[in-house]
Amino acid sequence: MSYKVPVGLSNKHIHLTQEHLDILFGAGSELHPEKWLKQPGQYGSYEKVEVVGPKGTLKNVRILGPLRKASQLEISLTDARQIGIKAPIRESGDIEGTPGIKIVGPAGELQLEKGVIVASRHIHLSTEQAKEAGVVDKEIVKVQCPGERALVFENVLCRVSDAFVAEMHVDLDEGNAAQLENGQLLEIIK
């Protein structure tokens, strides 16, 4: 059985709590959607911050909305090296034992105690789409990338929820290695 899923290339971004948004942008601040993402209710906001590491700064890091229960910075391995952070590869939300970082906004700055990760490659699927693909939540699969720089991504986490629609997320390092473009169809293989 073959199931194809569109890919979404994920650039560096940050998820914030209301408390941290208030520190960075002023009390009572809100996020303002600039670009709606494929996952329902998710968006890239107009608001951006600077991330300051021991060896460098990442400017114009977009905040993704809506706000979260915990702040988390998602970067690529290239970004991590650029700013001097050893960020582990983790599933989004798994931030225990991860490094922290300084975040600077227009109204203030803060030091995250933890939350810097390189997001593990993963596929979002609705319950119905997961059934069609023959996978279950938390299953690890392989994904075939076609083309001149064809490759197989291994260790791809399936995340299943009726709040999701089919989309595989890889960071820019991974996407560039396979010459991927947003929306390109990739095949789940077992």
Q: pLDDT truncated to tens, each residue of the chain (190 aa)?
A: 689 999 999 999 999 999 999 999 999 999 999 999 999 999 999 999 999 999 999 999 999 999 999 999 999 999 999 999 999 999 999 999 999 999 999 999 999 999 999 999 999 999 999 999 999 999 999 999 999 999 999 999 999 999 999 999 999 999 999 999 999 999 999 7
**Predicted structure pTM score:** 0.95
Task: Residue 53: count other Cβ atoms within 10 Å of its Cβ.
Answer: 20
Residue 16 Cα to chain centre, angstroms: 13
Taking only Cα atoms into account, the Rg of the chain, rounded to an integer number of angstroms, comes to 17
- Tell me which amino acid residue 20 is: H
Q: Are 139 and 158 in contact (CB under 8 A)?
A: yes
Residue 42 CA neighbour count, 13 Å, CB half: 14
